[in-house]
Structure 1
Amino acid sequence: MNYTLLANQYRDNLLNDVIPFWLKNSADPENGGFLTCLDREGKVFDTDKFVWLQFREIWCFSMLYNKVEQKQEWLDFAVQGAEFMKKHGSDAEGNFYFSMTRQGEPLIQPYNIFSDCFAAMAFAQLFKATGNQEYGDLAVRTFNNILSKRDNPKGKWLKSYPGTRELQGFSLPMILCNLVLELGDLLDNDLTESTIDHGLNQVMEVFYQKDLGIILENVRLDGSFSDTFDGRLVNPGHGLESMWFVMDIAERRSDPGLIRRAVDITINILEYGWDKEFGGILYFMDVKGKPPQQLEWDQKLWWVHMETLISLLKGYYHTHDQRCWDWFEKVHKYTWEHFPDPEHGEWFGYLNRRGEVLLPLKGGKWKGCFHVPRGLYQCWKTLERIAEKNQEPRTKNQE
């Protein structure tokens, strides 16, 4: 297996296809920020601005500037987005809205803490790129705001009736495991370590079900199982994504045992979520095999497959577990045969169960400039590390 050729495939798709697509089509020179609702050809079909997608794009171009090449075009693109969000993105208390008009007028209240999570990521990465202390301060302030809301992320916008069926969700502890590493030296080391400890415990001991080998999306406040729609819900993509976060933490802490656990969980979830009939990974499942509440349960989504590829490659790099490579080849083949659009660039996001394009959009309310470029970057760099381990020669483009 030529790992270097594979690395080049991911690198070239990132730098010659996906990033140029967003640079060309998502700019809003009149108002600032980004237009993310793009059809197959990259034409804008809606001008609402979804806050977490704005910050994801800021993060993406800042990250590329920091880690790939210091292209002024990338940095300028990120900075203008950040300045737009500084001006329009949050309420007086610093809580970031969910969506805004093209001009920056708030549309939907800050009910979703994930706007804050990606704001902290974006400002931290932009601080590294610019040295502008204001961005660093915004990242830390937003991170502390997230921690203050950790036990009640939706606050006054929580829809459920208090005290009847109180559940805790997997998404926030999962994201915090990655977010705390993104902020790096901006945080006090004790805060970093305590946040990691809490996140690891939640992911690996509370939401991970040892008897099933998979991760649930929701559990009761005491960690017990809730035999309800929400309690039975499994999102294989979330579990698979979280495992590469855990592997990065384990590498930071030099904990091979934790890496091994993460690899085993990755394989278990993938075997559970893989569609045996049509291929690809199912979006939602019911842990008891009952009809899922989500009507889109059988769709195949771009981000699920991309995050899976990252976890498999990191698992293979760290452990050389053949299961990781065998599954990587299988998921890689499915992904590259179904999601990239060779005619107009970028990737399709939504396939039906048979793997046919369901929606031809390249960006919308949920899909933006994030999972595809982040995943391509992570796979590219991890394949390079695997190649180095196997003493493959580097190409000119990699030197």
Structure 2
Amino acid sequence: MDFEMLATRYKDELLNNVLPFWLEHSLDRERGGYFTCLERDGGVFDTDKFIWLQGREVWMFSMLYNNVEKKKEWLEAAVHGGEFLKKYGHDGEYNWYFSLTREGKPLVAPYNIFSYTFAAMAFGQLSLATGDPEYARIAKKTFNLILLKVDAPKGQWSKAYPGTRNLKNFALPMILCNLALEIEHLLDEGFLLKTAEICIHEIMEIFYRPELGIIVENVDAETESLSDTFEGRLVNPGHAIEAMWFIMDLGERLGRPELIAKAVDITIRMIEYGWDRQYGGIFYYKDWLGHPLQQLEWDQKLWWVHMETLISLLKGYQLTGSEKCLNWFKKIHDYTWKHFKDQEYPEWFGYLSRRGEVLLTLKGGKWKGCFHIPRGLYQCWKTLEKIASSPVGASTGNSGIFKNDH
């Protein structure tokens, strides 16, 4: 397998196709911030601004500036979004709204904890890019608020009736694994290690259920047991697979090879569980008892699920040499590049039917922004470079498994 060629392919797609699309079409030069609701050709179809997508885009350009090249246009794009967020994105106490009008007026109250997490990520990377202590202060303040909300993420905006069915959700410990490393430069090392251990325990010991061999989305908050309900039976294979490369990164950071090995094993289990054997691709949702789901989009194939899976498989192979990771990477690489990459316009499609047909031609919207595709391309590029220069990559030889790639 020619890992160098593959690395070049992912790098070229990121730098010459995907990033130029967002730089050209996303920046709102008049009002600040970013447009994320973009048609196939980049035309803006809605001007509302969603805080977690604003934060993700600030993070993206800051991270690339910090890690790839000190390009002026990337830094300017990051600061452009960061200043908009700093001015309009919160209520003055760093409670981050969910969405704003184009001008920056609040539309939806700060009910969503992920507005906070991506604001913290954004300002953490932006502080590194600029050296501005104000950005660092915002990141730390927001992170502290997140920790205060861990037990009740939606706070006063929760729709659940208290005391009847209190469920704990997988998404928050999952994102905290990644966030802690993202803003490590702003945290005391002892606090970082404590936070990491808590997240690892919850993900690998509570939400991973050995009796099922999979990760579930919700457990009973008091007993940490399974819940035979719609929410309790819900499985999101992509969520679990994405979390596994966060765990692999933590395993590297903490020097824990056994944690990496377990994350690789769960990655393979979740792919085998989520893979559509009839049409290919990974299902969006499943029910661990096989019952009908309330999510009508359960059988769709989504961009982020497949991109995050590619990252986890490459990291798993790079760190452990797992041939299962390499074989699954080949299969999902082929599916992803064939179905999600737009062959006529820049950027990638986000939503496919079960059969792999494009459902929506948008390149960005309320949920899809400048994040999973570019981050995934970056992570795959860098991991492939490591494999190409490591004994793991060299030991496989050139199998020709990607000989049809061009």
Shorter-normalised TM-score: what interval?
over 0.9
TM-score, normalising length: structure 1: 0.97
Question: Could you list the runs of 5+ residues in structure 2 that have no partner in the other structure?
Answer: 395-406
Distance 2:121 2:191 in 1: 16
Question: Could you list the runs of 5+ residues in structure 1 that have no partner in the other structure?
Answer: 393-399
Instruction: Give runs of aligned pairs for residues 146-165 of structure 1, distance below 5 A.
Output: 146-165=146-165
**Alpha carbon RMSD of aligned pairs, Å?**
0.7
* Cα shift readout 1:175-207 (whole Å, capped 9, x = no counterpart): 000000000120011110111011001100000
SS in structure 2 opposite 1:358? Answer: strand
The aligned length equals 392
Per-residue deviation at 1:148?
Answer: 0.6
Partner residue in 2 for 1:335: 336
Per-residue deviation at 1:94?
Answer: 1.2
Is structure 2 residue 123 aligned with structure 1 residue 123? yes
Distance 2:166 2:70 in 1: 47
Per-residue deviation at 1:111?
Answer: 0.2
Partner residue in 2 for 1:257: 258
* Cα shift readout 1:281-303 (whole Å, capped 9, x = no counterpart): 00000000000110000000000
Distance 2:116 2:100 in 1: 15
Per-residue deviation at 1:57?
Answer: 0.3
Is structure 2 residue 406 aligned with structure 1 residue 371? no
Matched to 2:380, the amino acid is C
Partner residue in 2 for 1:325: 326
* Cα shift readout 1:19-78 (whole Å, capped 9, x = no counterpart): 000000001011000000001000000000000000000000000100010001100011
Partner residue in 2 for 1:71: 71
Distance 2:42 2:374 in 1: 16
SS in structure 2 opposite 1:107? Answer: strand
Distance 1:184 1:125 in 2: 10
Distance 1:84 1:262 in 2: 38
Partner residue in 2 for 1:272: 273
Partner residue in 1 for 2:299: 298
Instruction: Give runs of aligned pairs for residues 190-339 of structure 1, distance below 5 A.
Output: 190-221=190-221, 222-339=223-340
Per-residue deviation at 1:92?
Answer: 2.9
Matched to 1:344, the amino acid is Y
Distance 2:26 2:40 in 1: 13
Distance 1:181 1:386 in 2: 22
Distance 1:146 1:292 in 2: 30
Matched to 1:294, the amino acid is Q
Matched to 2:12, the amino acid is D
Distance 1:345 1:306 in 2: 17
Runs of 4+ displaced beyond 3 Å: none
SS in structure 2 opposite 1:353? Answer: coil
SS in structure 2 opposite 1:168? Answer: strand
Percent identity over paired residues: 63
TM-score, normalising length: structure 2: 0.96
Distance 1:208 1:94 in 2: 33
Is structure 2 residue 23 aligned with structure 1 residue 9? no
